[in-house]
Amino acid sequence: MCIGTFLYRFVVMNRPESIFNPQLSVDCVIFGFDGKHLKVLLAERCEGIDGSAEQKKFKLPGDLIHLKEDLDLAAGRILHELTGLSSIFLKQFSVFGDPERIPDNDDRKWLEKTSGVKIDRVVTTAYYSLIKIDKSNTDQETGNHASWHKITTLPPLIFDHKKIIMTGLEVLRKEIRFEPICFELLPAKFTVRQIQTLYEVILGQELDNRNFRKKLLKAPYIKQLTEKQQGVAHKPALFYRFDRKQYLESRRDILFYNF
């Protein structure tokens, strides 16, 4: 939690009129790829209801939004507070508006306690983002009581956050079939094998490496570098980079329809 958030919380806990809108929130499903597994960044619900022994639960990074705050900007704020990153791929993908999505139990009491406002119903707008997992956000597990979890083995989550993650994953799966958003999940230099593994973990299916390679390298926005992999116990792979400008150029005037 950055200073800004801390201050907000302080104010909230000590003033009758909240600066938060108690009915609107955003939650971010932050996908990351470490070369092997698709992961999601989760925050620990550290504050218990009464300080005593409680179930350790996780939650999506998210927050109530400020009274006059734009939703997209609020999502950016949360991502920034948690990771220090800004201008990151971030896309609204769904709204969760079931009036009973925040059940009348410990979860709600915890939320009312930490937000300092009476919670009636909360409609949350879900965003997903893709980031590269590297030393800066892996080593200390990003700090802020946040940590990466494989999407295949998620810990217990509050509210409907599991459903939100699964919906986000579906959207990501759908999206990756047509748009190369996967490059947001890779370092600037990558090998063909890395992209293929990423596609495999997202699609949940093995792909033929020879055909995958052919299809990928035909794309005009995949640029080969002269640099090679180092320190591997086999033939080193060449590095490639994603040329965003070429990508946008190549996407113009495509017509496509299917049955």
Partner DNA sequence: AAACTTAACGTACATTTTACGTTAAGTTTG
Partner DNA sequence: CAAACTTAACGTAAAATGTACGTTAAGTTT
Q: Which residues bind DNA (CB under 7 A)?
A: 191-193, 208-211, 213-215, 228, 232-238, 258
Is residue 71 a contact residue for a copy of itself (CB under 8 A)?
yes
Q: Where are the beta strands (DSSP E) in 34-163?
A: 38-44, 58-59, 62-66, 90-96, 123-132, 146-150
Q: 247 in helix, strand or coil?
A: helix
Looking at beta carbons only, is 68 or 235 nearer to DNA? 235
Looking at beta carbons only, is 149 or 189 nearer to a copy of itself? 189
What six digits make up the tokens of 44?
């620990």
CA 58, 62, 68 angle in degrees (round to 5)?
Answer: 160
Site mask, a copy of itself, residues 110-149, x = CB under 8 A? ----------xx-x-x------------------------
The DSSP H or E segment spanning 86 is: none
222 binds, among a copy of itself, DNA, none (CB under 5 to 8 A by kind): a copy of itself
Q: Considering the complex, what minimum distance in angstroms separates the CB of residue 255 from a copy of itself?
A: 6
Q: Which has the closest alpha carbon to 40: 148, 171, 201, 121?
A: 148
Q: Which has the closest alpha carbon to 243: 215, 228, 224?
A: 224
Yes or no: say if 187 and 34 are a contact pair by the CB < 8 Å rule: no
Is residue 205 a contact residue for a copy of itself (CB under 8 A)?
yes
CA distance 77 to 129: 13
Q: Considering only 18-26, 105-113, 139-147, 155-163, which stretch makes contact with a copy of itself by CB under 8 A?
A: 18-26
| Interface residue with a copy of itself, options 94, 129, 194, 197 (CB under 8 A) | 94
For the residues of 214-237, what is the DSSP string, one character each? HHHHHSTTEEEEEEE--S-SSSPP
Tokens 């083995």 found at: 153
Is residue 251 a contact residue for a copy of itself (CB under 8 A)?
no
CA distance 41 to 57: 14
Q: 256 in helix, strand or coil?
A: coil
249 binds, among a copy of itself, DNA, none (CB under 5 to 8 A by kind): none
112 binds, among a copy of itself, DNA, none (CB under 5 to 8 A by kind): none
**How many residues sit close enough to a copy of itself to count as binding (CB under 8 A)?**
37
What six digits make up the tokens of 141?
């597990």
CA distance 188 to 243: 10
Is residue 171 a contact residue for a copy of itself (CB under 8 A)?
no
| Interface residue with a copy of itself, options 1, 5, 23, 243 (CB under 8 A) | 23
Is residue 92 a contact residue for a copy of itself (CB under 8 A)?
yes
Looking at beta carbons only, is 26 or 202 nearer to DNA? 202
Binding site for a copy of itself (CB under 8 A): 21, 23-24, 65, 67-72, 92, 94-95, 97-99, 120-121, 123, 125, 176-178, 180, 199, 203, 205, 215-216, 218-219, 222, 255-259
